[in-house]
Structure 1
């Protein structure tokens, strides 16, 4: 089998993805790039002669060239799908990609604000402006209760119990949970609700509205938060999930109760929440390095 044959098979598979599986152009382009890499790496060996040790060598070579574990996992998945097609429609004997796993990539730790940065972010000077009152209520509630962006945008007034200081949150998989709401967030929400009554328009049901009285969009929330961070001189990319990460990190630092943090975040598995223990360890390490007499570097005389 020549290189030209390999390219023809790849082209036939991509046509199959478009016409029969009806995948999106973006997905098909991704498959095309990944399969082109396989064809390039296998130039000295035809596709029907590739064995599992070839695929492992290709993966190791790409990893050495700087491909992350996530990129390699996606690429191997594309190759496996290609070979399933070849064995079914072109008489190939086996799938050499079966059983080949990509190396694991270290998970990046979530970005968080320090408690001082969070307090600075939530300072609003123009408290009489209805949109500023709304923004303050949104961001206070997000940080106070560790909400996801979608949870914040979809929350309704009836989901809040101001008397109890709690909120009913509908999270992933339409699972609901009850989370506490802090006093500052409660006060900000009360002030916003007074403004909301004069803004709401027909069809709007969300707790937080646009200046035109409609349900506010997720994009608008994210952009308003970014703008507030810039105004407050916080030189980092602040988005709603940063507030959620900060909530989890700060709560864990204060309480040490991982299970409670899991429940408030709505994580199905505690392993998802455990990433914040690494952040907590980093925080303790910095304190140790700064304070412990056996950790501080000696000053040069």
Structure 2
């Protein structure tokens, strides 16, 4: 099996057997594509099965020199490791040359969030009560902020997911198709109820998606992003607002109020609490600002 055929077989397995999202498969394809391109630059153009650790370190150095960020390098290395494990299981590589290779550390950027007041301005901005798309938008954005959903999770919701909406819960399928039940606040329930009343004006009869676009089919990720950015602009918010910002805002605001990191982890669907701990840094930033503003001995000239 040549390298291109091996890559194709690996991606097919990732998509069909491991049930990874299309976004994850696309990342694997892009990252392994980089590996193929870098290997093609080597003298003699050795196959992927002949690469060694010093080749991988050289590739990392080359990508770093081309201004690829540390986080992107880490993702590429992770994809290469997974791919080489697959090659090893299929007898196409004797060893994994990526083991022990580490990317250069870069500064960890904290997620951007809305303040509670900005979230209220966004969600309570006026809409046309006769426009089903604006009613749908309010329901989507309320649900993002109420329950901390990912973009793909919200877009993939079916009508049956909100069958217990009166009980304040929605069933969500997260990464690797893991199901979790998340709470839905009162404002989001009201917005969803209004949307369900007028959904028939947009949705095709056989469509099972909770949120649909202008053509009556499941709404696309791009349309959700565009509608949210437009709504934020109309509300006069100072920065670009995207769906993940509402998820970050949900996590940060709940953690600031409750201090319960484990609960936030469960609601977000994080496999590791390390992913959730970034919001403790945001919480500390908030406390530091309060301290600098309020403490008489902390004020700076």
Shorter-chain TM-score above 0.5: yes
Aligned 8 A contact 1:168 1:177 in 2? yes
Larger mean CA deviation between 157-166 and 139-148 belongs to: 157-166
**Which residue pairs with 1:31 in the alignment?**
35
Give the number of equivalent residue pairs: 267
**Which residue pairs with 2:3 in the alignment?**
17
TM-score, structure 2 normalization: 0.74
**Which residue pairs with 1:99 in the alignment?**
100
**Which residue pairs with 2:229 in the alignment?**
226
Distance 2:198 2:79 in 1: 52
Task: Using the TM superposition, give the Cα deviation of residue 27 of structure 1 relative to its aligned residue in structure 2, in angstroms.
Answer: 5.5
Distance 1:97 1:170 in 2: 32
**Which residue pairs with 2:172 in the alignment?**
169
The alignment status of 1:252 with 2:238, answered yes or no, reads no
Encode CA deviations 1:185-240: one digit per residue, 9 max, x unaligned.
Answer: 11111111110134331331111122332221222111111111122222322111
1:256-267 alignment, distance < 5 Å: 256-267=259-270
SS of 1:128 mapped into structure 2: coil
Aligned 8 A contact 1:130 1:195 in 2? yes
**Which residue pairs with 2:277 in the alignment?**
274
Task: Using the TM superposition, give the Cα deviation of residue 57 of structure 1 relative to its aligned residue in structure 2, in angstroms.
Answer: 8.9
The alignment status of 1:147 with 2:110, answered yes or no, reads no
Aligned 8 A contact 1:226 1:239 in 2? yes
Question: In structure 2, do the counterparts of structure 1 residues 19 and 106 end up closer, same or farther at CA, with 3 Å as the change threshold?
Answer: same
**Which residue pairs with 1:129 in the alignment?**
131
Unaligned runs of 5+ in 2: 12-28, 44-49
RMSD between aligned alpha carbons?
Answer: 3.6
Distance 2:199 2:53 in 1: 65
Question: In structure 2, do the counterparts of structure 1 residues 63 and 213 end up closer, same or farther at CA, with 3 Å as the change threshold?
Answer: closer
The alignment status of 1:156 with 2:170, answered yes or no, reads no
Question: In structure 2, do the counterparts of structure 1 residues 215 and 290 end up closer, same or farther at CA, with 3 Å as the change threshold?
Answer: same
Unaligned runs of 5+ in 1: 1-14, 40-47
Aligned 8 A contact 1:166 1:181 in 2? yes
Larger mean CA deviation between 142-151 and 21-30 belongs to: 21-30
Task: Using the TM superposition, give the Cα deviation of residue 280 of structure 1 relative to its aligned residue in structure 2, in angstroms.
Answer: 0.7
Distance 2:133 2:158 in 1: 18
SS of 2:139 mapped into structure 1: helix
Question: In structure 2, do the counterparts of structure 1 residues 273 and 16 end up closer, same or farther at CA, with 3 Å as the change threshold?
Answer: same
TM-score, structure 1 normalization: 0.74
Task: Using the TM superposition, give the Cα deviation of residue 281 of structure 1 relative to its aligned residue in structure 2, in angstroms.
Answer: 0.7
**Which residue pairs with 1:178 in the alignment?**
181
Task: Using the TM superposition, give the Cα deviation of residue 69 of structure 1 relative to its aligned residue in structure 2, in angstroms.
Answer: 2.9
Larger mean CA deviation between 209-218 and 56-65 belongs to: 56-65
SS of 2:166 mapped into structure 1: coil
Distance 1:21 1:260 in 2: 39
